[in-house]
A and B are shown apart, each in its own frame.
Chain A
Amino acid sequence: MADALFWAGGGLAAAGALLALIGALGVLRFPDVYTRIHAASITDTGGATLMILGLCLISGLSLVTLKLVLVWVFIMLTSPAAANALANAAYSAGHTPWIGSFRIMQDNRKGGSR
């Protein structure tokens, strides 16, 4: 039973790493800031969840698992907030998206800059 958990945990961790890798590829190849923020932050939190779940399986019920869950909670708290703030800053700095035009941005900007 123990090494079944070990292999399951290892598999989940590898899946998380794969997701992170795909995210990194996305950040490298996407054309503009917004798509890169999208690629990076989603695969970050997703990869982190998978990987930490895998490590929790390996470590079983112990203090280490508590620390892993805490790491997961903090990543869940900070990574999306940072990505949101970054997209906010890029938007208010006037970065227009490369593909298509956000009509709401124009309205907001007209409305915003009184």
Chain B
Amino acid sequence: MLLIGAAAGLLVAMSLMIARAIMGPSHYDRILAANSFGTKTVLLLAIIGFVFGRPAFLDIALVYALINFVTTIALMKFFRYRSLAAPLTTHTPKEGGNG
């Protein structure tokens, strides 16, 4: 019963995130909303697995916890550096190289 309540709370939090994604003034608000939405979706997937009695479906929550990171980096790189190919470092490879 409490799990369904937790799922409902998460759904409300996710809809607030959608509201922020839609009206967010700057692009960074939108990336933030997408990132936070992703983390909440991971939790919702975990809870759905338990509410519907098939907890073996945590793989989907697991995989999305990883993919969310990649999408956020791609969006951040796009808005800030306008290029998907540039390495995220300021020293040239010769000098730095180890990150």
Contact = CB atoms under 8 A, between A and B. Distances in A.
Q: Do chains A and B touch in the complex (CB under 8 A)?
A: yes
Interface of A: 7, 10-11, 13-14, 16-18, 20-21, 23-25, 27-28, 33, 36-37, 40-41, 44, 47-48, 51-52, 54-55, 58-59, 63-64, 67-68, 70-71, 74-75, 77-79, 81-83, 85-86, 89-90, 92-93, 95
Given A14-B5, A17-B6, A28-B20, A71 B35 contact: no
Contacts of B56: 63-64
A53 to B, nearest CB: 12
Contact of B12 (A21, A33, A81): A21
A81 B89 CA distance: 16
Contacts of B17: 24, 27
Contacts of B31: 86
A27 B69 CA distance: 19
Contact of A86 (B28, B42, B43, B66): B28
Nearest to B10: A17
A95 B28 contact: yes
Nearest to B58: A67
B29 A36 contact: yes
Interface residues of B, number: 46
Given A17-B6, A40-B35, A74 B40 contact: no
A86 B32 contact: yes
B26 interface: yes
A76 B25 CA distance: 28
26 contacts: A10-B6, A17-B8, A20-B13, A23-B36, A24-B12, A27-B16, A33-B32, A36-B20, A37-B28, A44-B36, A44-B40, A47-B43, A58-B50, A59-B50, A67-B58, A71-B61, A71-B65, A74-B66, A75-B65, A78-B68, A78-B69, A81-B69, A82-B76, A86-B32, A86-B35, A93-B80
